[in-house]
C-alpha cells in the first residue's frame, strides 16, 4: 500500500476504484469490464472509418483546387490510419489494459511522439504534426459517441474515486456524484473553486497531491480521507473495511431535487439557464437537464474536419433546420463560424497574405464575405422553422457588426421573394454580438444600439484581458476568472445592456462554475448558457440563492484589490451560507 498526502478540503472518507482524468490533454482514463472490450474496439474502428471518410473528402476537394499539390499531405494521413503503430497499438492497449479507446489512442500517439522527437532528420521530425492531427481526429470522432464526463462515468462498474491533474468546477458540476464517491487532484488549494463545490455536496476531496494522476493506474482500489488529506493506494482489505464504516455519512444533496423548467432565487429573481451545444446528439440532454433553450450552438463543429468552403448552403440549411425544429418552441442561438486561418482549408491558408494576419471569427468572415453570406443565407432559410438568434463571434468594433448586418439585410432581401415565410421569419431573427475581447467590452455602450443582445464569452475575455494563454503551462496559473479587471468588465457590459434595454447572457466556464453563480447574479446577470451536464447543480445553487445577498456579496468583491482576496472572501461567504443552511445548524 502507498500513502499520498495532500490537503484535505472536504471532510469524509470514500472508497472506490481510481478513474484518471487528465484535463491538460482533455482525456479521461478509466478501466472497462471484459465484456466491454469488443465494444470499445468497435468504437475505435468506427472512429477510424469516419476519420478516413473525412480525410478522403478533404483530399479530393484540395486536389481539385488551386493547392492541388497539398492533397498528398492528407493522403499520407489516410495511410497513418492503417499504421499498426497508431490504431493497431491503440487496439492492443484496449485489449491488454482494458481501458477506454480515447485513452488508448492518446497513449499510442505519445509513444509515436517520443519516437519522432528524437529523429535527426528534420523532415521526419515534422511528421509528428501529421500524427498529432490524425490522433486528434480519431479522438474527436470517438467523443462524438460519448458526450461528457457524466456519460463516460455511467459506463464504469461500481463506485469510483476521480483522480485528476486538475478539476475545474465546471467539469465537476457535470459529474454523476452517485458514482463518484470523492476526488483527489494534483493541483489546488483550500480556496479552490471545486473545493467549495465539494463541501456543498458533502463529497470527500483532497487537493495538492502533485503527481497522483500520473502515479496511480486506472482501476486501482483507493481510500480517500478528506479530513486528513491522505490517499491510500492499493490498500489491504482491513483498511478498506474501516474506511467503508467511516464512509457512512449523511446523504448528499441531490443536484436533481429541483424540478425542471424555470428557476428563481429564494427571493424571486428569475434566472434563465440555457445549454451550450456542439453536436445534435447533445439535444437529448436539454429536457433531461431542464435547459430553457440553446444559448450557444458552435456552428464550426458541423464541419467535422471538412474544409469550410466545401460545406454547401443546402447542407448548412438542413442541419440548422434540424436543430431549430428539435428545440422549438424554445429559442436557439447559433454563432457564426468561429475559426481562425489555421482552421481554414489549405487553399485559403495559401491566400492569407492577401488579407490580414490574425483573422478570426467575424473578422475572418468579413475577409471572406462569400463564405459568410452562404452561412447567413442558410440561417435565414432555417429561421422559418422556429425562433432563431444569430450571434457574431470575436467582435472587435462597431463597424464589423454594421458590415455583417448589411450582408444579412441583403440576404433577407434576396430570399424574401424566393419562398413564402422567409421575409416574415427574417424579421424575427435577433442579431447579437459575443463580447469576448476587451475592446468590445469597453465599447459595449457603443455596440449596443447595433445589436439585439450581448453574450459575454468569459473564456476568451479572461485570456485577452489578462494576456494569458491558459494552454501554456508557464502562465496558465495566471488565468484567473476572479481578477478584479474581469469583474469590472462584466459589470460594464451588463450596465451597457441595461441602459440600452437589450438582454445579456454569460457563457463559458464561469457560467458552469457553481461557486461563482452567486457572484454573477450579484453583478446583475440572470441569463446563463453552459454545458448541459452542469445545469442541474447550477439550478440547485440558484434555487438556494438570495439575490439580495448576492448583490451585497458582489458589491464587496468589487472593492477588493486582488483575485486572491476576492476568492477568499467568496469562499468564506459560501462556507458561512452552507453552515446556515445545514439541517444540523
Between CA 426 and CA 60 the distance in angstroms is 36
507 is catalytic: yes
| CB-CB contact of 26 with 192 (8 Å) | no
Between CA 247 and CA 161 the distance in angstroms is 13
- Which of 106, 193, 385, 483 is labelled catalytic? 193
Cβ burial 543-564 (10 Å sphere, 16+ → b, else e): ebbbbebbbebbeebeebeebe
64 is catalytic: no
DSSP string spanning 477-542? Answer: GG--TT-HHHHHHHHHHHHHHHHTT--EEEESHHHH-HHHHHHHHHTT--EEEE-GGGHHHHHHHH
- Which of 64, 144, 507, 548 is labelled catalytic? 507
Radius of gyration (C-alpha) of the chain in whole angstroms: 25
3 CA to centre of own chain: 33
**Residue 488: all three cell numbers together:** 469590472
For residues 315, 344, 305, 293, the Cα torsion angle rounded to the nearest 10 degrees is: -60
| CB-CB contact of 521 with 265 (8 Å) | yes
Pairing mode of beta strands 160-164, 7-10: unpaired
| Three-class SS state of 336 | coil
Between CA 540 and CA 290 the distance in angstroms is 12
CA distances (Å), origin 582, targets 200, 266, 311, 516: 10, 16, 55, 20
Between CA 159 and CA 368 the distance in angstroms is 52
Residue with cell 468594433: 397
Q: How far apart are the first and last CA of the chain?
A: 39
533: left (phi over 0), alpha (psi -120 to 50) or beta: alpha
Closest C-alpha to 415, from 373, 352, 445, 371: 373
| Three-class SS state of 62 | helix
| CB-CB contact of 473 with 166 (8 Å) | no
Q: Active-site residues: which are they? A: 193, 507
Amino acid at each position: 500500500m502507498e500513502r499520498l498526502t495532500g490537503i484535505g478540503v472536504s471532510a469524509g472518507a470514500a472508497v472506490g476504484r481510481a478513474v484518471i482524468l487528465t484535463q491538460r490533454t482533455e482525456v479521461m482514463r478509466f478501466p472497462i469490464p471484459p465484456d466491454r472490450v469488443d465494444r470499445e474496439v468497435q468504437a475505435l474502428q468506427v472512429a477510424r472509418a469516419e476519420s478516413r471518410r473525412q480525410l478522403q473528402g478533404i483530399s479530393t476537394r484540395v486536389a481539385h483546387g488551386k493547392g492541388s499539390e497539398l492533397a498528398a499531405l492528407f493522403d499520407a494521413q489516410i495511410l497513418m490510419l492503417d499504421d499498426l503503430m497508431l490504431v493497431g497499438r491503440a487496439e492492443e492497449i484496449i485489449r491488454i489494459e482494458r481501458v477506454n479507446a480515447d485513452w488508448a489512442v492518446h497513449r499510442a500517439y505519445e509513444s509515436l511522439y517520443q519516437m519522432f522527437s528524437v529523429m535527426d532528420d528534420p523532415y521526419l521530425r515534422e511528421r509528428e504534426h501529421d500524427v498529432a492531427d490524425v490522433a486528434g481526429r480519431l479522438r474527436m470522432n470517438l467523443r462524438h459517441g460519448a458526450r461528457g464526463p457524466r456519460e463516460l462515468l455511467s459506463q464504469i462498474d461500481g463506485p469510483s474515486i476521480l483522480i485528476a491533474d486538475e478539476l475545474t468546477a465546471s467539469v465537476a458540476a457535470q459529474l454523476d456524484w452517485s458514482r463518484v464517491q470523492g476526488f483527489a487532484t494534483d493541483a489546488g488549494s483550500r480556496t479552490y473553486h471545486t473545493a467549495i463545490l465539494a463541501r456543498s455536496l458533502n463529497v470527500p476531496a483532497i487537493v495538492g497531491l502533485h503527481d497522483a494522476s500520473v502515479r496511480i493506474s486506472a482501476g486501482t482500489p483507493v481510500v480517500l480521507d478528506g479530513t486528513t488529506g491522505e490517499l491510500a493506494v492499493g490498500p489491504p482489505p482491513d483498511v478498506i473495511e474501516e474506511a467503508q464504516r467511516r464512509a457512512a455519512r449523511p446523504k448528499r444533496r441531490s443536484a436533481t431535487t429541483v424540478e425542471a423548467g424555470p428557476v428563481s432565487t429564494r427571493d424571486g429573481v428569475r434566472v434563465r439557464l440555457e445549454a451550450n451545444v456542439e453536436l445534435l446528439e447533445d439535444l437529448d440532454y436539454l429536457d433531461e437537464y431542464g435547459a430553457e433553450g440553446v444559448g450557444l450552438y458552435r456552428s464550426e463543429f458541423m464541419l467535422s474536419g471538412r474544409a469550410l468552403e466545401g460545406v454547401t448552403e443546402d447542407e448548412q440549411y438542413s442541419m440548422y433546420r434540424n436543430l431549430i425544429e428539435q428545440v422549438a418552441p424554445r429559442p436557439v442561438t447559433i454563432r457564426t463560424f468561429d475559426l481562425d486561418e489555421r482552421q481554414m482549408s489549405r487553399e485559403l491558408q495559401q491566400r492569407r497574405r492577401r488579407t490580414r494576419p490574425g483573422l478570426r471569427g467575424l473578422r475572418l468572415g468579413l475577409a471572406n464575405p462569400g463564405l459568410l453570406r452562404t452561412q447567413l443565407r442558410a440561417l435565414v432559410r432555417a429561421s422559418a422553422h422556429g425562433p432563431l438568434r444569430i450571434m457574431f463571434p470575436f467582435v472587435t468594433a462597431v463597424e464589423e457588426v454594421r458590415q455583417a448586418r448589411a450582408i444579412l439585410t441583403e440576404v433577407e432581401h434576396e430570399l424574401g421573394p424566393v419562398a413564402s415565410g422567409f421575409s416574415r421569419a427574417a424579421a424575427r431573427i435577433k442579431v447579437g454580438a459575443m463580447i469576448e475581447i476587451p475592446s468590445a467590452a469597453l465599447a459595449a455602450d457603443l455596440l449596443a444600439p447595433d445589436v439585439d443582445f450581448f453574450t459575454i464569452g468569459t473564456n476568451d475575455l479572461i485570456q485577452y484581458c489578462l494576456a494569458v494563454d491558459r494552454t501554456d503551462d508557464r502562465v496558465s496559473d495566471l488565468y484567473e476568472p476572479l481578477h478584479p479587471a474581469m469583474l469590472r468588465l462584466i459589470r460594464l457590459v451588463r450596465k451597457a445592456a441595461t441602459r440600452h434595454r437589450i438582454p445579456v447572457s454569460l457563457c463559458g466556464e464561469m457560467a458552469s462554475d457553481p461557486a461563482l453563480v452567486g457572484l454573477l447574479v450579484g453583478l446583475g446577470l440572470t441569463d446563463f448558457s453552459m454545458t448541459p451536464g452542469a445545469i442541474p447543480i447550477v439550478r440547485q445553487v440558484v434555487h438556494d440563492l438570495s439575490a439580495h445577498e448576492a448583490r451585497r456579496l458582489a458589491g464587496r468583491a468589487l472593492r477588493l484589490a486582488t483575485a486572491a482576496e476576492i476568492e477568499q472572501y467568496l469562499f468564506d461567504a459560501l462556507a458561512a451560507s452552507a453552515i446556515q443552511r445545514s439541517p444540523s445548524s
